[in-house]
Amino acid sequence: MLKIDGIQPKLDGHICDELICQQYLYKGKLQNEVDVLSIKADGRWHQLYFEEGTVFWRTITEEPQPFEPKPGDVFEYPFVDIGEQYQLKNKLITDLIVEAFPDGAKVSIEFEQSRVLTIYHQDNRNDIRFTAHQ
């Protein structure tokens, strides 16, 4: 059963300004490809993250800031600009689909020109897939 905490934003029909993926590394090894996904659309920031099968949505008032590690920290949370990487900045978001997935959830953000960014949450791991159909 799909559980959502927070209010899912209405992103369809809005332009994607920024798309930032915060990853999670432990001792330099990637543990979670997507720890938090920050989406800026029409000037407003929204965050998507998962915990134990629940989809969390939050609206934030300021641009997300990278976590500053302290000396000796074994955890890292680097930012990846996937809006730039997948050429999704300034593209129209056409749909946002949140659905149950075996032992988790899946969130697909569809963009103009048949581009789809999908985050899979399963067994407390998050993976991201991008597809572009011609």
Tens of pLDDT, residues 85-132? 999 999 999 999 999 988 889 999 999 999 999 999 998 899 999 998
List pLDDT tens digits, range 119-133. 999 988 999 999 987
pTM of full prediction above 0.85: yes
Task: Identify the pLDDT of residue 45.
Answer: 97
Q: Which residue has the higher pLDDT, 59 or 124?
A: 59
The one-letter amino acid code at 58 reads R
